[in-house]
Amino acid sequence: MEARRGSNTWTPAELSSVEARLAGRPAEYLLAWAVGAFAPDLCLASSFGPQSIVLMHMLSAIDPKTTVFYLDTDLLFPETYELRDRLSERFGMTITRVPASLTLEQQAASYGPDLWSREPNLCCHLRKVLPLRRFLASRPAWITGIRASQTAQRARAARIEWDDANDLVKLNPLLDWPTERVWSYIHSHDLPFNRLHLAGFPSVGCRPCTRAVRPGEDGRAGRWAGFAKTECGIHANRADERAL
């Protein structure tokens, strides 16, 4: 199948049709279809979370030349940067750094210190959403590790969908995987993972916006604690953006 972009002949109906055809197929099958349809410009977004590790492992067996990228906010944990290097070595895959729109110093000069503590939506927009949009601008499709059980917004996603905020096809192969299945995959394949997960951090983002969760709390309760914010914005569609 030929990747189509620009005037884009991928209609929502076409994507729904492909999704229906691949329904019930395993994540690896969907990834293999995506490689066939979109390589060499296909890319995988990695946050170095458990889902990203599973997808990198699968892709390393299908097409290790697939572009893997991460959004470097300059505020990730040292453990996350260390994991990046271990994953690259383990899978033999190059991991592309996508920098923020501006340095921390430039951000502080323009918006004041510690923007994340006052306006996390704006901080995420500058350090994640805009860099992502630029990076995806020339690509036909991206792969993400979102799962439906993580947030209400993610529960509305499809395994194959049109990303109208970034104007390309979006693939979410692990959408229906429960947390236990992700970890079972990681352990059964003896894959490396972020050491912070052993210290009470089920979800790891930027240092200023991530804390350990307490017993009984939701797995994402440690992200943007104190704010009514559950998403960084990179998975929002246009309707979600209008609602902000």
Which residue, 125 or 139, is less far from ligand SF4 as judged by CB? Answer: 125
* E strand or H helix at 120: helix 120-124
120 binds ligand SF4 (CB under 6 A): yes
Question: Which of positions 75-114 make contact with ligand SF4 (CB under 6 A)?
Answer: 75
* E strand or H helix at 130: helix 130-136
Which residue, 91 or 116, is less far from ligand SF4 as judged by CB? Answer: 116
49 binds ligand SF4 (CB under 6 A): no
Joined tokens for residue 101: 């729109």
Residue pair 232/146 in contact by the 8 Å Cβ criterion: no
**Is the alpha carbon torsion for 185, 187, 189, 194 positive or negative?**
positive
Characterize 111-138 residue by residue with b for buried, 16 or more Cβ atoms within 10 angstroms of its Cβ, and e for exposed.
Answer: eeeebbeeebbebbbbbbbebbeebbee
- Rounded Cα distance, 29 and 196, in Å: 31
127 binds ligand SF4 (CB under 6 A): yes
Q: What minimum distance in Å lies between the beta carbon of 196 and ligand SF4?
A: 15
Is there a catalytic annotation at residue 232? yes
51 binds ligand SF4 (CB under 6 A): no
Tell me which amino acid residue 53 is.
I
Which residue, 120 or 173, is less far from ligand SF4 as judged by CB? Answer: 120
232 binds ligand SF4 (CB under 6 A): yes
Which residue, 72 or 163, is less far from ligand SF4 as judged by CB? Answer: 72
Binding site for ligand SF4 (CB under 6 A): 73, 75, 116, 120, 123-124, 127-128, 205-206, 208-209, 232
Give the active site residues.
Answer: 232
